[in-house]
Every structure is written in C-alpha cells, then in structure tokens.
A and B are shown apart, each in its own frame.
Chain A
C-alpha cells in the first residue's frame, strides 16, 4: 500500500472538504440552501466555502424548501450539479413533491432521457433537546421511493468518501447527516478517495451476533459490542452506509456466520428501515438463524422536548446490550 497521510478531522470538516474538493474539480457543482453562504449553516458545516467559491456557487435562498429543491431539479436536468442544503431533516416534508414526484421520476418518465444529478444534504437524529419538529430521522421516507438513493454516513471517513461519490452520481441522492456527529473526530486520509454507494462496512468483526446499525446508531452499536465483550459475546457491527442501494449480501453473509441479528436505526421502527433490513436477513439467512431478527428504532411518538422523555425514545448502548444479551441467552 502506498504511504498515506491520515489526519484526525471532524465529521463537519469531512463534509466541508468533500464539498470543496468537488467544487474545485467541477465548476458545475454549487450549493443552494438557507444560510449556507456567510452563515455557513447553523451547524457551521459550510463555513469558509463562500469565501473560496463566491455567492454564485454558494447560494443563500429564501426560506422556500419546496421552491429551491424544485429549482435544483431543473438545474440538475440542464447541466448543473446542485447540492441542496435542507437545514433539518424534518423540513424534507416541504420538499416531498419535488423529490418524490419530480426528481425521482424524471429519468424514468422520460424513458431515460433526462437525468437529475443532484444531492440533497440534510440531517437526522434526536437528543439535541429540539422537540418534535427538529429531531426526526425520516430517511425511510426517501428509501421507499424508486429513483432516489439514500446515504447515511456514520464516520468522518465515510462522510467524505460517500459525499464525493454522491455528487458524482447521475441520480438524485439524499445524504443524511447526524446532527450529534458534526464534532466527532476520526481518521481521514489527506489524499483523494471515494467510497462507492451500496457497499456496507464491517465496523467491528465478531462471531456471535450481528448488529446492523445505521448513522447515529453505529456508535451505539459499537458501545453495546464493547459491553457484550465483557460478558463473552463477540458482536459484529455492520453499517450498510446506504439504505438504497442496499448491500444485502454483506448483511446476509454476516448473519449466516453469527446466526443472530439486531437491526438498529434511529428512524421509527414501525414500517421503517429496520423492518426492511430484518426482512432481507430473514429471507436470505433463514436457515442459519437461531433466533428471530430483532429490530430497534425510535419509539413511535413525536420526539418529546423534556430531556428524560426524549432520552427514552431512541436506542442506547445499554438497551442494545440488553436485547443482544437476551438473544444470546446470557443472563
């Protein structure tokens, strides 16, 4: 392997680097959203980009999510590569017609003639004391729509490599970032790299149980795996990294090896990402399973404001550990 320089940078810095590199590489790439320019978004993820690329390519919009998302669809069809910034994942509701009826369907409805190479960056995740309209994890909604791709990075390394690939993709890609993760540091090579969409990553190897975890739940699963190790259970943690395309094979192969699986995702459990992945595992590894596939997701309630209430709505290291221990018959 060639010698590579790897630094520790934050998740936000990794996202910013991916955008800056792609904007330098391709003059068609531009950013569109609320307070993306001088403000650099409320999370400061985009700080500094307008200084380098100017307001032509880092465009502050009115508070019109449907409007600027629709504009991005048209811009993508006609030669540009927009990266739309939707400040909070909860606001995707306002963009639904543009994404589900327009962006996702234009290629198919035109018999493959028009393309929509755009990225929507948005957030997911509770635990910021932001209440019911700034805390949801709604990635399952977009995962349900043919024509869209959905990316859920869980580390700075994945965020950078996946975002660069998303920007180069010829299709509409929705890129969900966990708000709690922006300051998380991790190793990221200084050299250019990309990560393909649709390839899961084994975050921790193990032999007794598979923990499939997405986005914000990857760290939770890794924490639970540490606790399980203390009681002699070896947990494998797999991050699909994209809900569509979905790397079904890696998930199935892991469960064939471990015979037990828990799927953990911060979206609502009911009709959610965990249901789909659990079904994939149940169909693909049925004869290898020693226990039913378990699912853990957000409690089926609007996210409450009060800290003790909010904290019980999402899976934790401890709750994942307890479920895993039960599945492995360890008391």
Chain B
C-alpha cells in the first residue's frame, strides 16, 4: 500500500488515473470486507464456525479509509469487531477464515480465533477482546517508533464503548505529553453492545480528546473518501512528529452485536436499520460516486464483485478443508 497525501480530485478525473486506481482499490477492499463478513455469517448459520463473530458490515469505510493512509510497517490494533481492520491492513482472507474456524493454517494457528487475529507481517499488533484493551499496546508501539526514530505510525481502532474505559484517558494523556505518533480512531457505530451510546456517554465524544490537547476530528464514517482524507492528514501529522490525534468516525453496525444477535427490536428499530442499510450504506455511497465521476463503470464494478466472490469462496473452502492443530499444540507458545 502506498501512502496517499494528495487531495481527491473528484470532478473531471479521467478513468485510469492514479486517483481512479486509488478509489477503485478502496472500493474493492470495502467490498472484500463485506463479502468476507457475509461468508462469516453464513459459516455461523451453517454451524461450521465455533463460537461467535462480531461483524463489521456497515463500517467498512472506516477501516479502509484509515488503512489506505498507512504504510505496510505502520501498526494497527483492532477490536473484537476486527475482521475489517485486519483485511484492510493486508491480511489474506484464506488465513483469516482458517483462524475463525480454529485451524492450524490460521494467522494464530487457531489459538486466537475471530477476536484475536494478529499478523506482524502487516503491522497488525492484534485484535483485542477487552474493550479498550489495546489502547496501551498502540500507544506503546508509537512510543517505540519515536524512541527508535523509525517514523512509523500506530493506529488504535476502538468502538465508542471504549470511551467508558479509564485506561483510554491515561493513554491520551501520555501520548500528548510525549507527542507520540498514534491515531485513536473511535468508530461510533451507535451501540455499545445492546445499548445506544447516548445512554452511556455524557458530554461530547471529541471533548474527551481535546481536554488533553489532542487534536480531534469528526468525520462521516460512511464516506470512505472523507475518512481517508482526514486520516491521511492526521497520519502525516503524526509522522512529522506533531503528535497524536483522535478521529471520531460516525458509522453504523448493520448486524447485531454478534452473529447471534438476531432480535434487536428492543434496542433499535427496523426502520432505523433499513435507513442505514439503504441510504447510508458505505459501499453504495462509494460505488455511486465512482460511476458518477467516471472512475469506473458499472460493468467494471460488477467484475470486481464477481472476482471477490469467487476469491472468498475459495478462501472459505481452503479453511474448511484445512486441518485442526494437533492437541499437543495446546501447550505450545505459552512462553517465547
């Protein structure tokens, strides 16, 4: 992935330009995440997946818009709802599916599962199943980058539920004190599990960051171009040594808290879900923009869709066929 610093030039850009390539690549990545998650849901429904998974459907523009602004050796930390972050940072679907199914070929040899995918090769420090559990890790990675003078940047993804955890504020304080190159990306998907954020969150979200002097931005998390533009600016700023930032992305979780959360009327309406899935769907928004501005035509997008669908099917087939780890592996990797 290359670093993108230029402003988008939506009007009059011709098909095949560098800009077109970039926006189409981001569309492809978002769609890959969508199709990946649809397969995950399918695996769950068919009882092929052990445990549960938390789907990222509806939030794809955040992971993709942010990760497109990163270099391969930049760091990310992710969450229980982390498939999108891992894929956007470069994970390959076959080994992701293998991990979700607990197979030896998975990213963590089947020991981590859906909520703990980690991959040093793509700078992925790991998804974390403790809410706000990785804010320290991401801040520490930024500390290393500064200490070692590597110019790497760390991005910490978390949901708005993490705003309830005190350790986040300890990290914001130190990151700003020491001008660490870390971006805290808050994905406000409106629901902390089964509770609307307004019932759990006093005051303004971004005020939590600005109280420490941390630069805060708010962006429409359904618009990948908007996310990317702001993220690229904040990443460059951090890389220059100008310190941390807090990026609030307003988004929406199409599915339930996890794949088994089917009956949701008690905490949100069908109408609300329909509105977000139709009018505010991030993939619909980018694909309409791509065709309207002639970065791609419908046939091209259709080809991408078909390619990805086939890729995901192959990846799932690979994972289903892959062997489980031998039981002797249970006691390996406790200590390095």
Nearest CB on A from B218, distance (A): 25
Q: Is the CB of B166 closer than 8 A to any CB of chain A?
A: yes
Give the residues in chain B near A270, CB-CB below 8 Å: none
Of A69-77, A181-189, A223-231, A312-320, the one contacting chain B is A69-77
Q: Is the CB of A146 closer than 8 A to any CB of chain B?
A: yes
- Most chain A Cβ neighbours within 10 Å, of B126, B134, B135: B126
| Beta-carbon nearest neighbor of B182 in chain A | A74
- Most chain A Cβ neighbours within 10 Å, of B109, B140, B141, B332: B140
Give the residues in chain B near A109, CB-CB below 8 Å: 108, 111-112, 116, 118, 126
Give the residues in chain B near A147, CB-CB below 8 Å: 334-335
B137-156 interface mask toward A, CB cutoff 8 Å, 1 = contact, 0 = none? 11111111101100000100
Q: Are B174 and A61 in contact (CB under 8 A)?
A: yes
Q: Is the CB of A110 closer than 8 A to any CB of chain B?
A: yes
Q: Are B140 and A74 in contact (CB under 8 A)?
A: yes
Give the residues in chain B near A117, CB-CB below 8 Å: 336
Q: Are B108 and A111 in contact (CB under 8 A)?
A: yes
A111-140 interface mask toward B, CB cutoff 8 Å, 1 = contact, 0 = none? 111110100000000000000000000000
B104-144 interface mask toward A, CB cutoff 8 Å, 1 = contact, 0 = none? 00111111100010111000011010100111111111111
Q: Choose one: B120, B128, B174; the contact of A71 (CB below 8 Å).
A: B174
Q: Are A74 and B333 in contact (CB under 8 A)?
A: no
Q: Are B333 and A68 in contact (CB under 8 A)?
A: no
Q: A73-B140, A78-B141 are in contact. Are A112 and B332 (CB under 8 A)?
A: yes
| Beta-carbon nearest neighbor of A69 in chain B | B136
Give the residues in chain A near B167, CB-CB below 8 Å: 66-67, 70, 97-98
The docked-state distance in angstroms from the alpha carbon of A66 to that of B128 is: 16
B-side interface residues, number (CB < 8 Å) = 45
Q: A71-B136, A73-B140, A112-B109 are in contact. Are A66 and B336 (CB under 8 A)?
A: no
A130-161 interface mask toward B, CB cutoff 8 Å, 1 = contact, 0 = none? 00000000000000001101000000000000
Q: Is the CB of A171 closer than 8 A to any CB of chain B?
A: yes
A-side interface residues, number (CB < 8 Å) = 41
A73-112 interface mask toward B, CB cutoff 8 Å, 1 = contact, 0 = none? 1111111101000000000000001100110001111111
Q: Is the CB of A64 closer than 8 A to any CB of chain B?
A: yes
Q: Is the CB of B288 closer than 8 A to any CB of chain A?
A: no
B74-106 interface mask toward A, CB cutoff 8 Å, 1 = contact, 0 = none? 010100000000000000000000000000001
Q: Is the CB of A52 closer than 8 A to any CB of chain B?
A: no
Give the residues in chain A near B136, CB-CB below 8 Å: 66-67, 69-74, 98, 102
The docked-state distance in angstroms from the alpha carbon of A74 to that of B167 is: 14
| Beta-carbon nearest neighbor of A107 in chain B | B336
| Beta-carbon nearest neighbor of B106 in chain A | A111
Nearest CB on B from A72, distance (A): 6
Give the residues in chain A near B119, CB-CB below 8 Å: 113
The docked-state distance in angstroms from the alpha carbon of A114 to that of B332 is: 14
B293-336 interface mask toward A, CB cutoff 8 Å, 1 = contact, 0 = none? 00000000000000000000000000000000000000011111
The docked-state distance in angstroms from the alpha carbon of A279 to that of B294 is: 74
Q: Is the CB of B19 closer than 8 A to any CB of chain A?
A: no
Give the residues in chain A near B48, CB-CB below 8 Å: none
Give the residues in chain A near B143, CB-CB below 8 Å: 71, 74-75, 80
Q: Are B133 and A74 in contact (CB under 8 A)?
A: no
B240-254 interface mask toward A, CB cutoff 8 Å, 1 = contact, 0 = none? 000000000000000
Q: Are A113 and B135 in contact (CB under 8 A)?
A: no
The docked-state distance in angstroms from the alpha carbon of A146 to that of B336 is: 12
Nearest CB on B from A234, distance (A): 37
The docked-state distance in angstroms from the alpha carbon of A170 to that of B335 is: 8
Q: Are A62 and B174 in contact (CB under 8 A)?
A: yes
| Beta-carbon nearest neighbor of A77 in chain B | B125
Q: Is the CB of A300 closer than 8 A to any CB of chain B?
A: no
The docked-state distance in angstroms from the alpha carbon of A30 to that of B75 is: 21
Nearest CB on A from B97, distance (A): 15
Q: Are A74 and B141 in contact (CB under 8 A)?
A: yes
| Sample of 25 A–B contacts (CB below 8 Å) | A56-B147, A67-B136, A68-B170, A70-B135, A70-B139, A70-B171, A73-B137, A74-B136, A74-B138, A75-B140, A75-B147, A79-B144, A101-B130, A101-B133, A102-B128, A108-B333, A109-B118, A110-B108, A112-B109, A112-B332, A113-B119, A114-B120, A114-B125, A170-B335, A171-B335
What residues make up the interface of A, taking CB atoms closer than 8 Å to B? 30, 56, 61-62, 64, 66-80, 82, 97-98, 101-102, 106-115, 117, 146-147, 149, 170-171
Given contact pairs A71-B136, A80-B143, enumerate 8 new A-B contacts (beta carbons under 8 Å): A62-B177, A70-B136, A78-B140, A79-B144, A101-B133, A108-B111, A111-B111, A149-B335
